[in-house]
Amino acid sequence: MKSKEILQDENRKLTFLEKCVSASGGMTGTFFFQMIQMYLLFFYTDIFKVSPLYVAGLFLVVRIIDAFVTPLFGILVDRVTTPWGKYRPWFLIIGIPTAVFGFLTFTTVDLSSTGKIVYVTITYLVFSVCMAIAQAPGAAMTPAMTKRLDDRISLGTFNYIFVMIGAMFVSIGALPLINALGSGNQAKGFSMLMGSVGIVAILLNFAQFAILKERFVIPRDKDAKYSLKQIADSVLKNKTAIIGLVFIFILNLSNGLKSAIMIHYFKYFFHNEGLMVTMGIVGLIPTMLGVMLSGVITKKIGVRNNLVVGSLISIVTTVLVLFIPSTPNGMTVFIALSVIGALFGGITMPAQGTLMPAAMDYAEWKTGINSNAFMGSLQGFMQTFATAISGAIAAGALSIIGYVPNAEQSSTTLFGLKVLMSILPAVIYAFTLIVWKFDLTEEKQHQIAHELAERRKAAQVQA
């Protein structure tokens, strides 16, 4: 490729359609992710009548399997280039079974107790693995599409908007739609909702494959086969990557625990299951406001300080939930604390998204090894593994505190629900303060991005 052509490609901006199609994967992925976090434990225990202890073990074992499969898949994506592209085909290869098994996971079948266990194990295992490995090509696609910093920032904004749409759809619309589609039969409603969204997700996967273009994928020399040790070292010896991965894991673990317990907390502590919808609506405006303020605040205080302040606010507001009584005033206080948490969560959200891209660029700049898909797979694994661990903790804790489905709970159980919604997630969240060690400044990131662009240009000219 000539230098002039390379410069034109470098300067080409992504279209509005490309940004929307690219971000749509985050919307459907978030929908599936939130359905697991907020409703799968409830679906298994209260609707499918599966033992909470078995569910706890299932969540944990499946994520252990993910732990082996996901990084290996990232290495595969880094090494394989198909006639249709390096990353695009995986949107279909992974996306279609994700939608199908998402539907099956939330569909009840008339089986014996043993049959139910076999069914939930197989369907959830496939669904979970597909969700975990999908992060690898998704995360690696962005640097293959554009090298413009403004485009990446804009694409990040689109991603957050679409992610929030997916999250709000679950928080606000899932339960009413489940009840409406099932005409009061929640089992039928869950199945119909997941089937409908699955069809939309598959159509969007085809749109991603057809519309998105890989403009910056340099064919690797056949002899340049990096060893597993080299690829692993590019992450394990990268402090920025370690901080980013730990932060992602702890954030999702704490939030996942609260999300898994929330419907039980509302149903039995406040005796108001409909609060699931209310909280989705209440959290929308402050979160959006926080996202809009994030750019200005981050520019003034930096990524690290933004994330540290957000962590401290989240810890305090979560601990205070322990002291809320089960009264209308207590419900109001809970909503107020949630609004504060949502505001600062929105402020930190775009800053969180800069951690792993910075780590990817730093790894390639420092070692010369492009392991973006591998690192993307680790990011996806951390998110899904945290979901499983949080679900396992929640399911196990319900048994420990004496929870009985669809029955009046004892005072000990109610106090246990309060602890699971406050002290435990706050203690876990405290570990996000590791982000204080993040010292890759914005200036350094600009320098690294520029040097990487020059290297790629030189490699393309030689090719």
Q: What is the pTM of this model?
A: 0.70
pLDDT band at 223 (very low <50, low <70, confident <90, very high): very low
Instruction: Give the CATH number of domain 14-216+227-462.
Output: 1.20.1250.20
pLDDT band at 456 (very low <50, low <70, confident <90, very high): low
pLDDT of residue 148: 67
pLDDT of residue 196: 95
pLDDT of residue 118: 95
Q: Tell me the per-residue pLDDT of 348-384, one tens digit each, with 9 for 90 and over.
A: 887 787 787 778 778 878 877 777 778 877 877 787 6
Q: Give the residue-averaged pLDDT of 440-453.
A: 74
pLDDT of residue 226: 65
pLDDT band at 387 (very low <50, low <70, confident <90, very high): confident
pLDDT band at 85 (very low <50, low <70, confident <90, very high): confident
pLDDT at residue 439 is higher than 90:
no
Domain boundaries, the chain: 14-216+227-462
Considering only 108-122, 289-303, 413-427, which range has the smallest mean pLDDT?
A: 289-303
Helix axes 239-268, 411-421, angle to 10 degrees: 150
CA 189, CA 177: separation in Å to the nearest integer?
7
Q: Give the residue-averaged pLDDT of 118-139.
A: 90
**Averaged pLDDT score across all residues of the chain:** 84
Q: Tell me the per-residue pLDDT of 102-117, one tens digit each, with 9 for 90 and over.
A: 999 999 998 898 999 9
pLDDT at residue 6 is higher than 50:
no
pLDDT of residue 311: 94
Considering only 6-15, 104-113, 176-185, 309-318, which range has the smallest mean pLDDT?
A: 6-15
pLDDT of residue 3: 44
pLDDT band at 262 (very low <50, low <70, confident <90, very high): confident
Q: Tell me the per-residue pLDDT of 164-182, one tens digit each, with 9 for 90 and over.
A: 889 888 888 898 999 999 9
pLDDT of residue 119: 96
pLDDT band at 234 (very low <50, low <70, confident <90, very high): confident
